[in-house]
Every structure is written in C-alpha cells, then in structure tokens.
Structure 1
Amino acid sequence: MMQKLSRKFHAWAKGWLVFALMVLDMFFMGFVMPLIGGLMKGGTGTQQPIDLQFFSTPAKLFAMVESYGEFGRPFYRNVELTVDILYPVIYTLAFGLLISWLFQRGFKPDSKMQKWNVMPVGIWLFDLLENLGIVTMLSMWPSQLVAIAWLTMIFTMVKWTFAGASLLLIVIGLAMAARNGFRKKE
C-alpha cells in the first residue's frame, strides 16, 4: 500500500501542484490556524491548543481542557472535527509531493530514497489519532480519562517525530536537488 502511495506521490509531483499545495499550506499555517488560535484564546493569550504540545502529563492536559471554559471546549472540538481534518490532508500532500519533487531531482529513480516520500503520511495518521483523543477529552469533560490523555500525548509525540523526519527529508532533498542543479535525474 505504501509503495503504491509512493508511486502516486511521484506521479503527482508536478512543479505547479507542489507550489500550489505549499501556498495553501502556508495560508493555513500562517493565517487560518493562528486566527483560530486567537479565537480560542479569547483575547487572553493564555490558552494554547493541545496539538502544539510535544509532551505533557494528563494533569496538565486536563488543566488545559478546563481552562478552555464552557464556550472554548465546544469551539475547540468543532475545530478539531473540521479544520484540523482538512489541514492534515493539505500538509500531507504538500510535504509528500515536495519530497517527491526534490528526490526526483536529487536521487536516481531506482534509489531507495525515493520511497521516503511517504513520511508525511505518518504525520497525518498520528495527527488524526491525536485529534480523536482531543475530541474525546473535550466531549467527556468533566470526566478525566487518564488513559485517553496518555494515548493522546503519545500520538502527539509520534506526530511531531514524523514532522521532524519529514522536514529533515525536505532539507536532504533540497541539498541533493541543488547539487544536481534541480534537474530531474534519469
């Protein structure tokens, strides 16, 4: 399945599409998500989304959930069930196609490196699992499901690990493609 997805990413990795997806990703990262974060903070600047933590304890997570308040919890839950479902699809495609495009220019077509273009799928998977945990904690409040909190934090850490690995692959791809003058390797 991952090999098939890898081949699809390579087939879709056209310069214009990579560019369009990166612009869309930057729009979400630079405008939509900060706007939502500002709305979530309600002007106080104190509440931070659980998604942005690398590690936390259940006690801290439950304190965060409580701090969102009666109106913040449903708002955050709705964001997790709408925007934070769409955004992972966008950044998965943007990063997957960018890695594919760079690797097509930095490595030979039969290189084992070509298969690493699916790394962003890991971010997507664990982001969705993290969202499920967050939605569960927000929906079940004031119940404090410690096992769900721990699972959510594990999913979050794995998500950020995949994100770091994807960024590393982009840097490697950029260096190798630049070394080849950004010409496609045959």
Structure 2
Amino acid sequence: MSTKMIFSSLKKRSVLLFLTSLFILFNLLLNYYLPAEYALDLKFAYTVDQAYAALGSLSKPDREIYKVGLLALDFPYLVVYGLLATGILYFLWGNKKLVVIPLIIMFFDFVENILIINLINNFPSQKPLLAWVTSFCTTSKWIFVGLLFFLLIIGVSRMIRLSNKPFISFFK
C-alpha cells in the first residue's frame, strides 16, 4: 500500500468519522478505567515526588487496573488518535510532512506508557531517574499536542477563509 493511498484513505469523510467515533469511545473508556486525578499521563508535568505520591494514592488493585488500562486501552488509543490527527492534518493542509507531529506525539505517548508501567511494577521502590524521564516524555507529548491543536485551528480557519463552502459542509 503506497503512502499516497494511505493519505487518500485517511482524509476520507467516512474514515475520519469512524476514527472520531473510536476516539470518543476510547476517551470514555479511559475516563472510566483510569483514575484521572492520579493518572500521570494526563498531567502536563510532575516531579519525582508528585509521581510517587500519585501512585501511592492508589491501592495495589487500582495500580493494576491503571496498568491494564494503559496496556489494553491507551496503546490502541494512541494509534487511533495518531491516525485521526494524521487524516485531519492531511485533509486541512494537504501536506504529508505534517504527519511527523502525530508521530512524535505517538512516540512520546508510547514511551511514557512503558515508563509508567515500569514505575507501577517497581512501586513502592522509587527510581527517580525513571520518574523524571517519564515526566519529560509526558511534558514533551503535551507540547506537541499543543502544536497539533494550533495547526488544526489555523488549518480550519484557513479552510473557512479560502473556501466558498463552510467547513461544516464536510459533515453533511
């Protein structure tokens, strides 16, 4: 399958709507199974002490549920949002080079998940360097998510300004 075919498929309305539905479903499941107030991957940044305090606030069964949630939900979720972001960016900008942004987000999220699982597996033993690198990956992920949102907002604004058809007509 050529990259041109992949990009053409990803920018199709039906594919984008399907990925959006999966994106919403994964968000609902993640919110249900992962403790939002203690989830390290939802914070922008955290210190070593904050990381271990968050994990310490969870019971052992809750830490196991967090780990299973990362494995069963967050890993597939990063593929879904990566494809969705790629499709929307390509739809809005028509530029394959922008795909690097969702790929960077996916990379940092993937590494972050592996490191959080390691933190959980080693808990209550503390590994400060591991916690610091985990926080670095989390912060890096969120910085690139911010860049992605900026590009999406500019892309939608640009499309509305340059098009005779309103953006909302895409969903009809």
Q: Do both share a fold (TM > 0.5)?
A: yes
Q: 1:168–1:9: structure 2 CA closer, same or farther, 3 Å change rule?
A: farther
Q: Report what 1:95 is aligned to.
A: 85
2:63 & 2:99 partners in 1: Cα distance?
36
1:61 & 1:165 partners in 2: Cα distance?
25
Given that residues 102 and 173 in structure 1 are in contact (C-alpha distance below 8 angstroms), is that contact kept between their aligned partners in structure 2? yes
Q: Percent identity?
A: 26
1:172 & 1:9 partners in 2: Cα distance?
24
Q: 1:16–1:176: structure 2 CA closer, same or farther, 3 Å change rule?
A: same
Taking structure 2 as the reference length, the TM-score comes to 0.86
Gaps of 5+ in 1: 42-46, 105-112
Amino acid at match of 1:116: L
Report how many residues are paired: 163
Given that residues 9 and 97 in structure 1 are in contact (C-alpha distance below 8 angstroms), is that contact kept between their aligned partners in structure 2? no
The counterpart of 2:118, out of the listed 129, 133, 136, is 136
Q: Report what 1:58 is aligned to.
A: 48
The counterpart of 1:49, out of the listed 39, 55, 58, is 39
Equivalences for 1:1-186 in 2 at 5 Å?
A: 7=4, 10-12=7-9, 13-29=11-27, 31-37=28-34, 40=35, 47-104=37-94, 114-181=96-163
Instruction: Note the C-alpha offset of 1:170.
Output: 0.8
Q: Report what 1:110 is aligned to.
A: none
Amino acid at match of 1:154: F
Taking structure 1 as the reference length, the TM-score comes to 0.80
Amino acid at match of 2:117: V
1:73 & 1:79 partners in 2: Cα distance?
10
